[in-house]
Chains A and B, each alone.
Chain A
Amino acid sequence: DTGVSQNPRHKITKRGQNVTFRCDPISEHNRLYWYRQTLGQGPEFLTYFQNEAQLEKSRLLSDRFSAERPKGSFSTLEIQRTEQGDSAMYLCASSLGVANEKLFFGSGTQLSVL
């Protein structure tokens, strides 16, 4: 168990640029989640994948945000035309896909939009 890996750990970008984050879940986990966390707040749910299918998206996920999990393994989260309000920690989590399971979170990608 190598844990959930997220890259990059930090990203600084200018407003209007596009950014992409990658998440590599624990290998046998078929569920993958994206959360966003701002300073002093708890993580907020963004979206969820069961294998390669994106099954739920939060209203927080505007049309500038897109997430993929092409082969049911790693996932990418892209933000287009970044805004300063996008600055946050983006967390990925994975799980086995059983009832009342625990989620395993990565260390996140800290995005700063200047």
Chain B
Amino acid sequence: LAKTTQPISMDSYEGQEVNITCSHNNIATNDYITWYQQFPSQGPRFIIQGYKTKVTNEVASLFIPADRKSSTLSLPRVSLSDTAVYYCLVATDTGFQKLVFGTGTRLLVSP
């Protein structure tokens, strides 16, 4: 499974756009890029998944360049409730999703 590298922590203010970049230099052809969000004392929650170019849903956007060696999670106009840990994962579904979580990025949103 491809290893990912992302910043340990980030700070932002309410209303700002936050971009969290993840590098995955060894990503394989069949790998997808997935982001999960985790609040304290809760399990991770799926945010978004993509293979290439741009994916957008009601929560976030995911930008993936052509070489797919990195990806950027974009959170528009963050609020205090977006304070959480964000995990970037790369996985191939070899029959099941054996997700390998790193330490994630701790995002702190301040007033």
* Given the contacts A42-B103, A102-B46, A103-B46, A48 and B41 also touching, CB distance less than 8 Å: no
Interface size on A, residues (CB 8 A): 29
0 or 1 for each of A19-54: is its CB under 8 Å from B? (1 = yes)? 000000000000101000000111111001010000
If over half of B's interface residues share one DSSP class (helix, strand or loop), that class is named, otherwise mixed; here it is: loop
In the complex, the chain B residue whose C-beta lies closest to that of A99 is B93
**Complex: A72 Cα to B61 Cα, angstroms:** 36
Q: Is the CB of B100 within 8 A of A45?
A: yes
Task: Tell me if B101 counts as interface (CB < 8 A to partner A).
Answer: yes
Q: Is the CB of B102 within 8 A of A45?
A: no
Task: Tell me if A79 counts as interface (CB < 8 A to partner B).
Answer: no
Q: Which residues of A contact B81 (CB under 8 A)?
A: none
The 10 closest A-B pairs by CB, nearest first: A105-B43, A42-B101, A102-B46, A99-B93, A91-B43, A43-B101, A100-B32, A100-B93, A105-B44, A107-B42
Give B residues with C-beta under 8 Å from A.
Answer: 32, 34, 41-46, 49, 87, 91, 93, 95-104
What 15 new A-B contacts, CB under 8 Å, besides A42-B102, A103-B99, A105-B43? A4-B43, A31-B96, A33-B96, A41-B103, A42-B103, A43-B101, A45-B98, A48-B98, A100-B91, A102-B46, A103-B44, A103-B97, A106-B43, A107-B43, A108-B41
